[in-house]
Copies of this chain bind each other. A is one copy, B any other.
Amino acid sequence: MRHTLQELAEHLNAGGADCQVVGDGGVEVSAVATLEDACAGQISFLANPKYEKMLATTQASAVVVGRRVDAPEGLNLLRVADPYAAITRLIVRMHGQRSHPQWGVSKAAVVSDAARIGARANIAPQVTIADDVVIGDDVTIYPGCFVGPGCRLGNSVVLFPNVVLYDGSILGDRVTIHAGTVVGNDGLGYAPVGEKWEKIPQIGYVEIGDDVEIGSNCSIDRATLGKTMIGSGTKFSNLIAIGHGAKIDRDCMFVAQVGLAGSVTVGRHVTMAGQAGVVGHVTIGDNVQVGAKSGVTNDVEAGTRVLGAPAMPIYEAKRVLAVMTHLPEMRDRLRQLEAEVAELRKRLTDDGRSR
């Protein structure tokens, strides 16, 4: 479907964007593409200044840009305060959110008679739904998923292929879980008996709030006792490990390969960058930002940014790292100083003697 720039600007303005058309508002576009890939009939955007020079070469028919970006003469623009938010709105407008294959409730799914499933369910072949499961309305479950005994899923949940929910997992409304993710497996709970490890039954469960999206191939341990909790609105990338009994508050953003040990507490709206890790029983305050590859070993105060392993306040970490690259030079200077001081001492002593 085609849209004129003018129509798109009005759509953005309806959302409060205060969008200005620069150039020909009658130009038609039918898809969103990157500056590099876009061809005529497509609209692109510039959000990261790193790509600004591509404005000169893009084949896009129009580009969404910030208020103050210099763009080549003749390029049709939609000027907005926040190009990233605007292009998001345009992608939704022009392409929509993902649609799913329609299976109804497949006869080739194995659904317990003791499960309760809501209206308009879309359950693929090769899905297993165990006893005492309760599932809301408008749920989509792809092939190969396993929903264990006693799980409860809210409305509009989407489970992509091969997601596994162990017994007793609770998912809120509009939870999306990507392929291969496992929720509620036993954590590393053992009591040492000499050199042996005696298994502690893991009798807790996992609870996931509303509007949570979890990437692919993540592993979220059930709690030993009580629950492991992922708060509403939190988003995870892929290959993330969450230890037993961790409590993550709402609206957090975890990048790929993050790992939380058991019993970690994370406040709301916390960002964990890629490959960061947190040791057990630590508390991270609201709005904390943990840098990539950081290793958090102590509690972190709300609102701070930390980096490094062990993690420290980011300004401190950056100063340490900056000096670290000068370490070989510092050692040389230290040696030089030692030689000079020895020489001064000698001269002083010789002077003393010579007097």
Contact = CB atoms under 8 A, between A and B. Distances in A.
Secondary structure type dominating chain A contacts: loop
Interface stretch (A18-26, A61-69, A72-80, A344-352): A344-352
Contacts of A344: 341, 344-345, 348
Given A195-B269, A221-B237, A323-B328, 4 more contacts: A98-B202, A144-B146, A195-B268, A322-B328
Contacts of A352: 347, 351
A128 B125 contact: yes
Interface string A80-104: 0010110110011001111001000
Contacts of A239: 217, 219, 239, 241, 259
Nearest to A124: B128
How many monomers of this protein are in the complex? 3
Interface in A181-223: 182, 185-188, 190-191, 193, 195-203, 213, 215-219, 221
A233 B195 CA distance: 9
A180 interface: yes
B91 A188 contact: no
Contact of A84 (B191, B257, B330): B191
A330 B331 contact: yes
